[in-house]
Structure 1
């Protein structure tokens, strides 16, 4: 099967795009992308050509830019080009030249795809590129996702040459007298991919001449295995993870009995910022006492009795909220306080619900202060004449650490009136002498 026939067959097999869609081809001027452009023309697809000049190779970069512009003219297709100050981007973003070039390239290509009304961006990655990616991922450590190599289609990005070996592309260029330019930076081995391309794969080929094709065949099987893997992981997650608001709960006993524990735990906890190095610490929580925790980059994982609780790291909030006498509502993180003043009547019923505080308004001094609780806080729990520290009260109530951390108190003249959503202070309760009520309802959003 010749390259053009294989090219069309691969596009159809992978359902990369249809003939009525418009493609934006990323063309550097090298043999791979230039042959790709000629294949698109020969196949009769609708496409434009885009070229990035990273201005890293002086006159050679200008030569490539001019060559690709002439190529677009000869193929009679629209041409888009841009010049980047890649060195400045590297310095300002503190990334490597490779990372900077990739960031600039794909951001601009996506912008151009949208403005040019193209359906997909097309790159000329081939079979060797995908095999190199697998070997690189294996070398630095990877999960199953790192074994699928370069995917034929990701979002608005397609790679229709993944079926072809480099030698096939070069042979097509020779047979059809297709001119291209050589990028001198492809020769150096200081870049990781070039090191694998020029130093690693040739050595492996001495023992296994068909290594690239063999890896490509394995990639197909890895991609299918990954689908089965993802389905199984999703089943475990649904069985183990329960969501309550912005908190996730995992039953310790169920997780301990899960097989394979390491793999399932990794797939769960990596979603909450857990690194591979932190996973053993998280699993140690299964055998630890309540209150032990592991803090990831984004979340806190806490052992709380029979549960592991996962909560986002606390965001900065206003330390206090001042409530004047005429306020009827106060919005705060996670909920809304609704305030209502009414006259006390013989028929007045005092709600028993913990999320509603019914207070003697004349016992209050304005403004009221709403704030997070802190160590040392105390109050007189409703029905008691002795004061109690909030920390002790929380223990008696068996509050989890996340619940404690997100508890607010309402204060009047430096005296706690209400632990929001839990208990009012006995000093502000409704009595027979109460004439006016302040009812405050906590409504979770």
Structure 2
């Protein structure tokens, strides 16, 4: 096995001979065999061992075993003890997920601190098969079926082509000792249940099952690559970027075959999970939206608008007679004295100073707000003004109102109130200029 392994890493992982790396060693047969293979191949590495404190003394004995093994092989070692159950409880995740988050965060810290280029794990062919079956049970897309990658930005998996039987045979041939994790014998976890029952049944039904599985994964990888290329082509046709975010053209989406799959491909890199609700946006009214984590998707006329989701505090801002500048999210208001109307621009508004009730208020709009648009005699709901002037959902959210007492005197950057228009003979004016960030 060693000659094949050396040839494999020479061809596919040349970085192992050019830099120092970090090897994750649990003490089990897979990671211990990989440790011996890398040592024999003269790879420069350090060992990282996580004690997750999940099996009492047994966990401590694993740590001691790995420490002694590192000392015997003259390899640097880092050991970290975690309170995994407390972390899982605090972050409301499963114990397995907590252990995963803890170890990979620590591996990244070690690599950064000690100038280690990558972390090496001992995942092998059966691990890949187990992950494949787990993802099937979770209704995964094609990405979940393509399995683990041998080489990512941070993690290298040089044992992926090798089976558990090959690893066990190497350990026996070279009299390699390891620690057996007692939790591996239980069926408490889905992975263990598949390992103990489903996979043996598949191997019994088809002795060549693992080999055929690896071929199938190759085909899936090729299909996934083709799908990515097709998605990239459609992206250039369907998606445009603006200051608001990404806009997905709905009519063009509906024209392409397999619209739902295309929409999934375009959005899968974000945090959305409720795909049925997202698909419903294609036929929804403007303003409907789906929020997931740091992003949101909004139906806005003929586009789906993808933006960051920011929870903003609806704070009111006060303007006193002494203020010359007010900073507001998204814009700045400059306040000056003026003697005449010297400019006509939606971003500039003039008011009779004596008519204003200070302090003025700058606030967001709310349902039921009304004003009297300049040039009209009647009143109008702010919501109706937005609709008539084709405000998008984001435009409405970012709109600010300047108020004097209970009255709205200016939709900032848009229209002033007719009741506050400048009359002949007025000489003491207040000028408001809006500058957008």
| TM-score greater than 0.5 by the shorter chain | yes
The equivalent position to 1:35 in structure 2, one of 25, 30, 33, is 33
Is 1:361–2:353 an aligned residue pair?
yes
Deviation digits for residues 365-414 of structure 1 (CA, Å, limit 9, x no counterpart): 32110001122222221112222222222232232333223321100122
**Match of residue 418 from structure 1:** 410
**Match of residue 193 from structure 1:** 191
If the length of structure 1 is used for normalisation, what is the TM-score?
0.90
Residue 292 of structure 1: how far off its partner (Å): 5.9
In 1: Cα distance, 2:24 partner to 2:381 partner: 66
**Match of residue 371 from structure 1:** 363
**Match of residue 343 from structure 1:** 339
1:26-425 correspondence runs (5 A) = 26-271=24-269, 273-275=271-273, 278-288=274-284, 290-291=285-286, 293-298=288-293, 301-313=297-309, 315-344=311-340, 349-351=342-344, 353-425=345-417
In 2: Cα distance, 1:92 partner to 1:127 partner: 34
Query: Aligned pair in 2 of structure 1 residues 49, 392: CA closer, same or farther (>3 Å)?
Result: closer
How many residue pairs match? The answer is 436
2:348/2:432 contact within 8 Å kept = yes
Query: Aligned pair in 2 of structure 1 residues 301, 93: CA closer, same or farther (>3 Å)?
Result: closer
In the alignment, structure 1 segments of 5+ residues that lack a partner are: none
In 1: Cα distance, 2:276 partner to 2:53 partner: 46
- SS for the counterpart of 1:154 is coil
- SS for the counterpart of 1:80 is strand
1:249/1:308 contact within 8 Å kept = yes
1:350/1:358 contact within 8 Å kept = no
Query: Aligned pair in 2 of structure 1 residues 300, 159: CA closer, same or farther (>3 Å)?
Result: closer
Which stretch has the larger CA shift, 191-200 or 57-66? Answer: 57-66
Residue 427 of structure 1: how far off its partner (Å): 2.7
Which stretch has the larger CA shift, 30-39 or 266-275? Answer: 266-275
1:16/1:160 contact within 8 Å kept = no
Residue 130 of structure 1: how far off its partner (Å): 0.9
Deviation digits for residues 226-254 of structure 1 (CA, Å, limit 9, x no counterpart): 23322322332332223333344333211
- SS for the counterpart of 1:296 is strand
Which stretch has the larger CA shift, 184-193 or 385-394? Answer: 385-394
Residue 340 of structure 1: how far off its partner (Å): 2.9
In the alignment, structure 2 segments of 5+ residues that lack a partner are: none
Deviation digits for residues 131-186 of structure 1 (CA, Å, limit 9, x no counterpart): 21112112221111112211112222111111211111111111222121211111
1:322/1:368 contact within 8 Å kept = yes
In 2: Cα distance, 1:301 partner to 1:76 partner: 54
Residue 26 of structure 1: how far off its partner (Å): 0.8
If the length of structure 2 is used for normalisation, what is the TM-score?
0.92
Query: Aligned pair in 2 of structure 1 residues 77, 312: CA closer, same or farther (>3 Å)?
Result: closer
- SS for the counterpart of 2:46 is strand
Deviation digits for residues 246-286 of structure 1 (CA, Å, limit 9, x no counterpart): 344333211111222111112234456432xx433333343
- SS for the counterpart of 2:225 is helix
Query: Aligned pair in 2 of structure 1 residues 283, 54: CA closer, same or farther (>3 Å)?
Result: closer
In 2: Cα distance, 1:398 partner to 1:410 partner: 21
CA RMSD of aligned residues (A): 2.3
1:16/1:158 contact within 8 Å kept = no
In 1: Cα distance, 2:299 partner to 2:122 partner: 49
- SS for the counterpart of 1:369 is strand
1:246/1:312 contact within 8 Å kept = no
In 2: Cα distance, 1:390 partner to 1:89 partner: 48
Provide runs of 4+ in structure 1 moved above 6 Å.
none
Residue 316 of structure 1: how far off its partner (Å): 2.9
- SS for the counterpart of 1:225 is helix
